[in-house]
Copies of this chain bind each other. A is one copy, B any other.
Amino acid sequence: MTRWSPDGRRRLQDAALQLFEERGYSETTVAAVAEHAGLTERTFFRHFNDKKEVLFDENRLGELVAAETRASDASTAVEMAADGFRAVAAQLQLEPARVRRRALVIAASPELQERELLKITEWTAAVTRALEAERVEPRAARIAAEVSTAIFRIAYGIWLEATDPMNLVATLDALLEVLRSVLVTVPRGSDAVGARGTSSQG
């Protein structure tokens, strides 16, 4: 059963991450990844549909975000979806160094960026379905899913680029607070008191 073990999957992911970093994504073959992991190409394709997929454990994260959205007992639709993304954030927060290495590999390849965009679109769809399953009105479900996805992406971007250690879940929570604020006010920078009144744009 060794070739089916989660350990094999993880070894392939580790090998891929390392080779993509060293040689670049395009320059690395599936055969090289499998060999580096001490496994066969055939085993690789038992775990992953294609070379890109080895970097994306997001099918699992997609299931997680949907399950946690459904399980949420939050009092607003956005908060339900946010509970889904909090679970994903907590997961990523477990291995910050690895997540950042992976992000750099993706950032270096338009092909991988495209796949990442597609995965995120799938998360949004999964969250929409999860909210609908909890009887949220369809348009509201879609909007809550899209908005919480956008907030998650911004939080993730800020977290990836942070030079000091930073907690992804806390960043997400802070941005959800900002989201509430942008819907009830115009949050000005501290030096902006009265600035709009003197603007010639109005």
Cβ < 8 Å to B, chain A residues 174-202: 175, 178-189, 191-192, 195-196, 199, 201-202
A52 to chain B, nearest CB (A): 15
Of A22-30, A53-61, A136-144, the stretch lying at the interface with chain B is A136-144
Tell me how many chains of this kind the complex includes: 2
A80 proximity list for chain B (CB < 8 A): 186
A70 proximity list for chain B (CB < 8 A): 201
A65 within 8 A of B: no
Q: Among B74, B133, B150, B186, which residue has its beta carbon within 8 angstroms of that of A77?
A: B186
A83 within 8 A of B: no
Docked complex Cα distance between A57 and B74 (Å):
42
Instruction: Report whether B77 and A182 are in contact in the complex, using a CB–CB cutoff of 8 Å.
Output: yes
Docked complex Cα distance between A185 and B77 (Å):
6
- Write the residues of chain A forming the contact surface with B, with a CB cutoff of 8 angstroms: 70-71, 73-78, 80, 114, 117, 133-140, 142-144, 146-147, 149-151, 153-154, 175, 178-189, 191-192, 195-196, 199, 201-202
